[in-house]
Structure 1
Amino acid sequence: MEVKKTRNTEKQNLVKDILSKTEHTMSAEDIMAAMPIKVNKTTIYRILDRFAAKGEVHFVTGKNGKAYYALCNGCGVSHDIHNHIHFECQECQEVTCLPNKLSIPNLEGFTINETQFLIIGVCNKCKA
């Protein structure tokens, strides 16, 4: 995938700032609600797609089919193969990147284009 060069815009900087200040992943709707200026959802998705193409964010699909985004931590452009776990709480619906690493098997005869690891349960905040 070719990565287009873009200039930093105020909206892009705001999206990065919002994602950098959260401990869990965020949906495009969550990011849009946190924006201090009016931005439509299509613009948010374009920014997130651009960041994903550059290896700056990754996403996981939640139980509800919605994409949840987080800033990448040293993923690089070929960041489709994420080997960490995401946890979705059934109570508060937060999706969190966990530090646990998984080994991605080399499957003979198959090409892996993307991985997503999602565990669903109840987080410690909601258990209390």
Structure 2
Amino acid sequence: MKKSRNTISKTKIISVITDSKTALSHSEIHEILDGFCDRVTIYRVLDRLINEDLVHKIVTIDGVVKYAACHDCSSVEHHHNHIHFSCEQCHTVTCIEEVAPSFKLPKKYKVHNVNFTVSGVCPNCL
């Protein structure tokens, strides 16, 4: 992917996402930025960051879209075939990169992307 120019908003948003231990929703990012940029700018920057393979998008079991930084990806290999754990109590979503989901599809299906979300209670809420 071609990298777009770095703007102050882009730098601030990627920093917020990278510094977070959990995936963040658009609303959570907007709240953390506390008026630094408007909601539309955040959406545009998030789209750019996804296209540049700097963040990935997770859709929770409740249908909420969250964003997490890419950690094990390179410009050659971009993958997010890991489990996303959604806590039913605190509603955080955590990437569990050391566990790869396993599944088997019929031969006529070709997989391009995997989004595995597991729900339960996180260690902080137990």
**TM-score w.r.t. structure 1 length?**
0.84
Classify the secondary structure of the residue corresponding to 1:108.
Answer: coil
Q: Does the C-alpha gap of structure 1 residues 110 and 76 become closer, same or farther in structure 2, counting only changes over 3 Å?
A: farther
Which residue of structure 2 lines up, in the alignment, with residue 94 of structure 1? 92
Deviations 1:75-121 (A, max 9, x none): 24663x52110100000000000121235657522222321010000
Aligned to 1:50: 48
RMSD of the alignment, in Å? Answer: 2.1
**Alignment coverage as a number of residue pairs:** 124
Deviations 1:15-59 (A, max 9, x none): 111112111100011111111543222211111111111111011
**For residues 20 and 55 of structure 1, do their structure 2 counterparts lie closer, same or farther at Cα, with a shift above 3 Å needed?**
same
Correspondent of 2:80 among 72, 82, 100: 82
Contact 2:81 2:113 in 1 (8 A): no
Cα 1:13–1:36 shift into 2, 3 Å:
farther
Is structure 2 residue 9 aligned with structure 1 residue 8? no
Query: Measured at CA, do residues 34 and 5 of structure 1 come closer, stay the same or move farther in structure 2, by a change above 3 Å?
Result: same
**Whole-angstrom distance in 2 between the partners of 1:15 and 1:119:** 26
Tell me which stretches of 4 or more aligned residues in structure 1 moved more than 3 Å. Answer: 76-79, 103-107
Which residue of 2 is the match for residue 61 of structure 1?
59
> Residues of 1 paired with 2:40 and 2:60: CA distance?
20
Partner of 1:40: 38
